[in-house]
Amino acid sequence: MKRKVHRTPFDYLGYSAEVQFVLRTVVVRENKIDEQIRHACESIDCALIKLPLIRVKIRELESEISRNSIESYQQLTFSRVLRPGPSTGTPTGFLDLPAELRNYVYELSGCLTYSKCGSCTQRFGPLAAFPTQVHNQADPEYPFLSNFDEPALLRVSKQVRSDTAPMFFGNLLVCVLVKHKKVWEVVLRWLRQIGKEKAAMLRHVYIEINAGLDKIPEGQSLARVARKHLKAPLQKLAEAGLKVDMKGVLQFRRSHSRRSGWSRAGE
């Protein structure tokens, strides 16, 4: 019985046994290299998939560094952005954040500003508002700072309103330029229309009055005459809801045209 001889492709090429051994070794090594290349390509593919997520984490980390003014790299080890894996905690809603953080977000939103003419902004600052001027130009049924004139942010929810209303009304500088008695009537009517709750939130009130005092009674100081002259109007403001301190008349001046005026900062 003849023995069956197993021939390889190298036998048909006429290679000797020694040459065939070397060729087999080379083929095995090439197969191992191909396997290593395949594993390397799979690793690269996985890295490319994770790359967008890494870039997002880098942007979040840069934002955190800029926001918290982190200067030491050692502090980055405590950053939540660098912690791998999804968060196991329950989601935190905006209204669940601390009040200080919510107020900071409200300020950054830019939704608590009040628009006005450029001349008013240049003279009294960006937060100045004039109830008499706005009231005269608008429909009396929609007075200045009424519900129709408030920022939309104040109408989101009751909790958001309780957070933002004191910020909006408290930061306003309400300017009243009194040149005749009818101006007082307009201001008082405006305070009654917006209600005592809003009036109590006003912290900055500037009142400039043309008192018409050409002569000061003998033996009396200008400040005393000023307070006496303003006692009745300021009392009416207090009854309308504005917190008024009679000692709040801080400055008195007489202009070159012999007109007198007082400046008041409300609480």
> Cα(56)–Cα(81) distance, rounded to whole angstroms?
10
Q: What is the pLDDT of residues 165-222, one digit of tens each?
A: 888 888 877 777 766 667 777 778 777 777 888 888 888 777 776 655 556 666 666 6
Domain boundary among 68, 84, 115: 68
Answer yes or no: do 105 and 228 share one domain.
yes
Residue 103 has pLDDT above 70, yes or no: yes
Q: Which of 131, 165, 160, 132 is nearest to 147 (CA)?
A: 165
**Residue 15 domain boundaries:** 10-68
Answer yes or no: do 147 and 251 share one domain.
yes
> Cα(222)–Cα(252) distance, rounded to whole angstroms?
7
Task: Please compute the mean of the pLDDT values over residues 113-118 and round it to a whole number.
Answer: 53
Answer yes or no: do 62 and 111 share one domain.
no
Phi, psi for residue 263 in degrees, rounded to 5: -120, 135
Answer yes or no: do 255 and 130 share one domain.
yes
Q: What is the pLDDT of residues 64-94, one digit of tens each?
A: 766 665 555 555 555 555 555 566 667 778 8
> Cα(134)–Cα(141) distance, rounded to whole angstroms?
12
> Cα(230)–Cα(225) distance, rounded to whole angstroms?
9
pTM over 0.75: no
Q: For residue 74, tell me if it sits in a domain.
A: no
Q: Could you tell me if 170 and 203 are in contact, meaning their C-beta atoms sit under 8 angstroms apart?
A: yes
Per the structure, the count of domains in the chain is 2
Burial class (CB in 10 A: 0-12, 13-18, 19+), 266: buried
> Cα(81)–Cα(57) distance, rounded to whole angstroms?
6
Of all residues in the chain, the percent with pLDDT exceeding 90 is 0
